[in-house]
Structure 1
């Protein structure tokens, strides 16, 4: 399963994903009117960044490895995620805008949404 469009791999700055927004961004897939609503489970999670990271490695190891290989892309996600929940939402919104300014789409790959839920649902195990 390909979550990150090849031409946007260099634009991964957030999501997680890595996780979150950056990992979810894809050149393929239907556009979502509000990517923040799809990221809400992640944004409102009480898990730490390290817990999210560990869960992400279990759920989607290949994409997690891509982010591990580029710490400069993973760092903005950590900084944004380590904020209290209200500020975390603001930080992620800013990162999405930043991606758009870099020419990357802000639509969320629909295949990523269930994976994001798995990460959030399992992060407290780590």
Structure 2
């Protein structure tokens, strides 16, 4: 099931996100998943963006084969399927902290 891998990534991402945003305010609005859902980035582009821009998060991701598979599945899916995947995991523990890291990866992956 895909929920478990993203939960692990979310927990890892939580530590990364918390270290990056310590002292920052928390937004009450739902995040904009549009760029993630509509990305044209490939798996390799997304992973390169994460490795380049957030090596700590990349290290956590790469230590988990299920998380790597989730990223591969997500980037290989249609926008409708990506939206379903996000809805499926966004309530998982740590997802609120992990999504900003993942969103940044998809916001910049077209550069790679």
TM-score normalized by the length of structure 2: 0.65
Flag the structure with more relative contact order, 1 or 2, with Cα contacts below 8 A and sequence separation at least 6.
Answer: 2
Whether 1:88 aligns to 2:82 is yes
1:13 aligns with 2:8: no
Runs of 5+ consecutive residues of structure 2 not aligned to the other structure: 19-24
Q: State TM-score, norm by structure 1.
A: 0.59
| Among 48, 60, 70, the residue aligned to 1:76 | 70
Indicate conservation of the 8 Å contact 2:90/2:96, yes or no: no
Moved over 4 A (4+): 23-29
CA gap of 1:80–1:120, structure 2 versus 1, over 3 A, is: closer
Larger helix percent:
2
Does the 8 Å contact 1:24/1:108 carry over to 2? yes
* Structure 1 alignment gaps of length 5 or more: 1-10
* RMSD of aligned residue pairs (Cα, Å): 3.4
